[in-house]
């Protein structure tokens, strides 16, 4: 009898979908305004990346290290991949221990509009990182970040220490 109950519980648990610790939000027209509004007066890092970008993985590793060193660091990550790849996006972020970062994925087939809303000067090169200061003046960087630049930015925005 006890064995049957155990088997039934095991079967029921197998049918329950796993809980994902990280929600992937759809990045659509207006999402960048939503991200900035939620962080009004607070510094944050916006990182744009893709599963197919080799340098993005190095960038994710660097951002992960910074989040460990500065637990108050607010990192928002936007994958330029498609919503169909959300499971792989979550797995990659988990691999780099970035499950505390807010995560988004491009969810509009007109990606040029999304890129333009983020930054009219951005043409899609990855990785692309924006360092937002408290008054939300952002500095944009294409390619791999210089760790010294990030450390200087963090020190200048002492709210993240």
Ordered structural domains, the chain, with CATH = 26-160 (3.40.30.10)
Tens digits of pLDDT across the chain (161 residues): 544 433 343 433 344 334 344 799 999 999 999 999 999 999 999 999 999 999 999 999 999 999 999 999 999 999 999 999 999 999 999 999 999 999 999 999 999 999 999 999 999 999 999 999 988 889 999 999 888 889 999 999 875 55
26 close to 105: Cβ distance less than 8 angstroms: yes
Measure CA 108 to chain center: 17
**Cis-peptide, bond into residue 127, ω within 30° of zero:** yes
């Amino acid at each position: 009898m006890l064995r049957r109950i155990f088997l039934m519980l095991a079967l029921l648990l197998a049918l329950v979908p796993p809980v994902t610790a990280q929600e992937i939000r759809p990045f659509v027209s207006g999402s960048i305004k939503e991200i900035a509004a939620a962080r009004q007066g607070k510094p944050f890092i916006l990182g744009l990346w893709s599963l197919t970008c080799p340098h993005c993985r190095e960038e994710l590793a660097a951002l992960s290290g910074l989040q460990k060193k500065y637990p108050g660091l607010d990192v928002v990550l936007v994958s330029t991949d498609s919503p169909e790849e959300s499971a792989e996006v979550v797995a990659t972020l988990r691999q780099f221990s970035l499950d505390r970062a807010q995560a988004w994925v491009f969810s509009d087939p007109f990606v040029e509009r999304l890129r333009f809303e983020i930054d009219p000067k951005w043409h899609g090169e990855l990785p692309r990182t924006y360092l937002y200061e408290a008054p939300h003046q952002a500095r944009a960087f294409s390619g791999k970040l210089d760790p010294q630049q990030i450390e200087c930015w963090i020190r200048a925005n002492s709210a993240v220490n």
